[in-house]
Amino acid sequence: KAGVTQTPRYLIKTRGQQVTLSCSPISGHRSVSWYQQTPGQGLQFLFEYFSETQRNKGNFPGRFSGRQFSNSRSEMNVSTLELGDSALYLCASSLARQATAYGYTFGSGTRLTVV
Amino acid sequence: SQQGEEDPQALSIQEGENATMNCSYKTSINNLQWYRQNSGRGLVHLILIRSNEREKHSGRLRVTLDTSKKSSSLLITASRAADTASYFCATEIIQGAQKLVFGQGTRLTINP
């Protein structure tokens, strides 16, 4: 069965622009999480959604937002991009309602470069 | 600050040798998970150990957890070139928070 699909794989944006990243979880998975990975800060939690509800949000500015649709697909949006937003953005899905109690399946990520 | 501190940051060994990576954490946990990442791609879930477990095995992987020392170790036996990757520990601190806190990772290189 298909894994977690993230699109696009690579993205180059200019400071001040906004960007939308997409994540399609494994079929049947209703929990979707987003993480940001940078060389300096490592893997940082952004948000978690379950059945279209955001259950937790990480310590990121309001420029970072997300949502989940009824088919469990999720998007995250970053507005007014800054150079420091350059990162690998990873989406992860889980079948379990208590996803962190069982582990996640990650997508290959979207590499965002802000210039 | 990161919950998990991994040691060593980088490890280089010969194929066939065993590799041991350690993870220490600061607060009580519900479970600890290990993930592998190849060259900046997605993470692959390797193994999960719950706070009431002391040791788990999965193929060539052995994980131990010492909650009194707030530490875990991942042992990969009979390493292969394909094991070259970064390995991360992740902890679930608060049950129901749906958030994993990752360590900085250990970069493992297996030399043929």
**Residue of B42, B92, B98 lying closest to A90 (CB–CB):** B42
Distances (CA, A) of A26 to A1, A22, A58, A104, B95: 8, 13, 23, 11, 23
A100/chain B closest Cα distance in angstroms? 5
Q: Which residues of A touch B40 (CB under 8 A)?
A: 88, 109, 111
Q: In terms of C-beta density within 10 A (0-12 exposed, 13-18 middle, 19 or more buried), how is residue A85 classed? A: buried
pLDDT tens digit sequence for A13-72: 999 999 999 999 999 999 999 999 999 899 999 999 999 999 999 999 999 999 999 999
pLDDT tens digit at each of 112 positions of chain B: 456 788 899 999 999 999 999 999 988 888 999 999 998 789 999 999 999 999 999 999 999 999 999 999 999 999 999 999 999 999 987 766 788 999 999 999 999 9
**Residue of A33, A105, A109 lying closest to B98 (CB–CB):** A33
State the Cα–Cα distance between residues A48 and A58, nearest whole angstrom.
9
A34/chain B closest Cα distance in angstroms? 10
